[in-house]
Amino acid sequence: MEILDYEDSLETYLGDLGGRKITIVSAFASGTEALIDQMIENDNQLDILVGTISSLTSPDFIEHCLNEANPALQLTVDFRSQASVNWKLYLVEPDTVILGSANLTQVGVSLVRDTATVITDAALYDAYLARVQALKAVDGVMPCVASQAFEDALDVYRQSHRRMQAGLARTAEYLDSEGWLGDDINQSIPLFIWYSDHSEQSEEEAREHLKASSDGVAWDDVREFFTYECAEGALPYEEGDVVLTARCNGSHIGFYTFDRILYRDGTYYIYSYRKKRYTQPFRLDGDKELLKESIPSWYEDGRTEINRADILRILP
C-alpha cells in the first residue's frame, strides 16, 4: 500500500503510466483535459465515468472527450444529477486500486487538499471493475458518443451547469483569484463586454423603461445600466447574475449585479442598482491590468463567460 500526497501527486502517478488500461470513476471532472491527453499519448487505454452532482462536471471536459474521437478514450456520463455517482476511484490493470477523496479535477489530482491510497489487490480490482460495468447499465448513464440522445442530454446539462455556476458567482466571495481557483467547484463566471458609451437617447429610453416597470426603483438608485440586442429569450444572463463587465478595449473592468432586466423592441435593458456592498466572486485589485489584455479578443469571439482555463492563462 502507498499513500500519495501533494509532493507525489495522483496527477504525477497517472501521468507516468504507460501501456495500461486505466478506469476512472469520479463525482465530477474539470480542468484535467491535458492530463487525459497525456495519458493517451503514453499509450494508455482510458475508460472514464463522471457524475453530474450539483452540475459540477465541466461541459468543456465532456466536449473535449467527445471531440477527441479516439478509440483509446471512452467516456461515460451519469446524467442522473443528485442521484449520480459520487465515487473517487482509479483502477490500473491488472491489480491496482486507488481510493481517496480526489475527483478528476485540476485541484483534486494535485492532492493539494485531497488524499489517495494505492492498493495492490487483484481481487479488489476485479470486484470494483465489475461494479463499474454494472453502473454503466443504469438508466441515465450514457456513453459519450455523437448521437442525438447524448447531444440532447448534454444540452440540458449545459444549461443546468451554467445556472449553477452563475449561482456560485452570486454567493461565493474570495479574497483574490487564487482563492477562487483553489476551490474546484468554481469553473466559470458570466462575462459581458460592451462596445461604446450610452447615447443620450439610449439613456433616456432606459430611464423611461425603468420608470414604467413595476420595480419601484428610482433612476437615482441605478448604479449602471447596459443594453444587449438579441431576440427575446436569447439573453445569456438572468436577473441576479453577478457578471464581470468591461468595455471592448479592456477598460472599465468590474463586477456588476444584473438586478433588473427588461426587454423592449429587440433590446434588453439591464440595470445594476446601488448598494452599500457589492458582491464579487473575487477581488480584482491588480488583476485588472492582466484581464485588460484579453478583453478585446473575448469581445471578438462573442464570449459571454470566462472559465478556469481563461483565468489560469492570464493571471499569475
In whole numbers, what is the pLDDT of the chain averaged over residues? 94
pLDDT reported for residue 309: 87
| Residue 209 within any structural domain of the chain | yes
115 and 201 share one domain: no
140 and 177 share one domain: no
φ, ψ of residue 158 to 5 degrees: the values are -55, -45
| Residue 167 within any structural domain of the chain | no
CA 144 to centroid of chain Cα atoms: 18
181 and 277 share one domain: yes
pLDDT reported for residue 315: 73
pLDDT digits over 153-172, tens only?
999 999 999 999 999 999 88
* Arithmetic mean of pLDDT, 88-93: 98
Q: Which residues contact 91 (CB under 8 A, 6 or more apart)?
A: 22, 23, 24, 97, 98, 125, 128, 129, 132
pLDDT digits over 15-49, tens only?
999 999 999 999 999 999 999 999 999 999 999 99
pLDDT reported for residue 132: 98
Domain final residue pick, 161, 190, 212: 161
pLDDT digits over 100-158, tens only?
999 999 999 999 999 999 999 999 999 999 999 999 999 999 999 989 999 999 999 99
136 and 12 share one domain: yes
129 and 254 share one domain: no
pLDDT reported for residue 316: 65
pLDDT reported for residue 102: 97
Other CB atoms within 10 A of residue 53 CB: 17
| Residue 35, C-alpha cell as written in the block | 492530463
Angle, alpha carbons 25-30-31 (nearest 5°): 125
d(CA 7, CA 2): 13
pLDDT digits over 233-290, tens only?
999 999 999 999 999 999 999 999 999 999 999 999 999 999 988 989 998 887 888 8
Domain final residue pick, 161, 188, 204: 161
Q: What percent of the chain has pLDDT over 70?
A: 100
The residue to which cell 483534486 is assigned: 108
The residue to which cell 479516439 is assigned: 70
CATH of the domain at 115: 3.30.870.10
| Residue 168 within any structural domain of the chain | no
Domain that holds residue 135: 2-161
pLDDT of 215 strictly over 80: no
Domain count for the chain, please give it: 2
* Arithmetic mean of pLDDT, 219-225: 94
61 and 124 share one domain: yes
199 and 267 share one domain: yes
Helix, strand, or coil (residue 26): strand
Which residue would you say has higher pLDDT here, 253 or 316? 253
| Residue 272 within any structural domain of the chain | yes
| Residue 166 within any structural domain of the chain | no
Domain final residue pick, 127, 161, 195: 161
d(CA 69, CA 231): 35
| Residue 237, C-alpha cell as written in the block | 444572463
11-15, 193-197, 211-215: range with lowest mean pLDDT: 211-215
